[in-house]
């Protein structure tokens, strides 16, 4: 059943250092692996394609926003489950987040259980191979 033997990683992309640290800490507190990035560029250049995992992705980011990052990944054939997080929820961005690979849309601040439920959903997809990383 398991097609992937790599330990999945939770990529956190958020430009707010305090939020980044806190989410990293929370994810690690349940024994998951977390890697945090301040910008989409930083994330992309870290070579995520070599690993499996899911994205905890902030929508409002300076420069390229969360949607653009996701578009770019889809174009590059990198299919990863995404959990969008935002401090500025509105009708429009919620609609825009209705796309393939997006497993949840969380309004900041969110409860730990809400996050873990979303992560479980996302990791299920990674492990069952519904979505995975396809280099190039």
Partner 1 sequence: MRRLLAALLILVAVGGASLAQTEVEELERQLESARGAERVRLLNRLARANQVNSPSKSIEHAAAALQLAESLSDREGQARALNNLGIGQYYLAEYGLALEYYQRSLAVADAIGDRDRIADALNNIGIIHFVWGEYEETLRHYSRVLELRRELGDTKGVAAAQNNFGNVYYATGKYEESLEYYSEALRLYQEIDEPRLVASTLNNIGLDYHKLGRLDEALERFESALEIEEQIDDKPGMAQSLNNLGLIYGDLGRVDESLDYLRRSLAVREEIGDRQGAAVCHQNMGQIYAKSEDSRQALDHLNEALEVARKIHVKEIQRDVYLILSETYERMGDAERALDNYRRYKDVADELLDEQTARQLAELQARFELERKDREIEVLRKNQEIQRIVRNVFLGGSVLLILLVLLFYNRYRLKARANREMKKANEALQLAQAEREKATRAELTHVSRLVAMGELATALAHELNQPLTAILSNAQATRRLVAAPDVDKTDVDDALGDIVLGAGRARDIIQRLRELVRRREITREPLEINDVLRDVELIARADAEHHDAKLVMDLAPDLPVVTGDRIHLQQVVLNLAHNSSEAMAGAGTTEREITVRTRAQSDRSVVVEVLDTGPGTAQDVLTHMFDPFFTTKSEGMGMGLTICSSIIDAHGGRLWATRNPDRGLTVHFTVPGGFPHGDPK
Binding-site ranges for partner 1 (CB under 8 A): 16, 18-19, 21-23, 25-26, 28-30, 85, 87-88, 90-93, 107-112, 115
What b/e string do you get for 13-43 counting C-beta neighbours within 10 Å, with b at 16 or more? bbbeeebbeebbebbeeeebebbbbbbbeeb
Q: Compute the distance between CA of residue 25 and CA of residue 31 in angstroms, rounded to an integer.
A: 10
Q: State the alpha helices, DSSP H only, in the chain.
A: 17-29, 40-44, 66-75, 91-96, 112-128
Task: State in angstroms the smallest separation of the CB of 35 from partner 1.
Answer: 16
What phi, psi does 4 have (nearest 5°)?
Answer: -125, 125
Task: State in angstroms the smallest separation of the CB of 62 from partner 1.
Answer: 14
Closest to partner 1 by CB, 25 vs 76, is: 25
Task: Assess whether the previous peptide bond of 130 is cis (omega < 30° from 0).
Answer: no
Contact criterion met (CB below 8 Å) for 44 and 66: no
Task: State in angstroms the smallest separation of the CB of 64 from partner 1.
Answer: 17
Closest to partner 1 by CB, 58 vs 101, is: 58
Closest to partner 1 by CB, 12 vs 122, is: 12
Task: State in angstroms the smallest separation of the CB of 4 from partner 1.
Answer: 26
Closest to partner 1 by CB, 47 vs 111, is: 111
């Amino acid at each position: 059943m398991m097609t992937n033997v790599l330990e999945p990683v939770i990529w956190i992309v958020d430009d707010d250092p305090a939020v980044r640290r806190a989410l990293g800490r929370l994810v690690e507190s349940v024994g998951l692996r977390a890697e945090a990035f301040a910008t989409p560029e930083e994330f992309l250049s870290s070579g995520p394609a070599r690993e499996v995992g899911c994205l905890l992705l902030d929508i409002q980011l300076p420069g390229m926003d969360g949607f653009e990052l996701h578009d770019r990944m889809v174009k590059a054939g990198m299919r990863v489950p995404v959990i969008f997080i935002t401090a500025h929820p509105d009708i429009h961005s919620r609609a825009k987040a209705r796309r393939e690979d997006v497993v949840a849309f969380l309004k900041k601040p969110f409860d730990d259980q809400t996050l873990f439920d979303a992560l479980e959903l996302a990791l299920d997809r990674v492990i069952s191979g519904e979505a995975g990383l396809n280099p190039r």
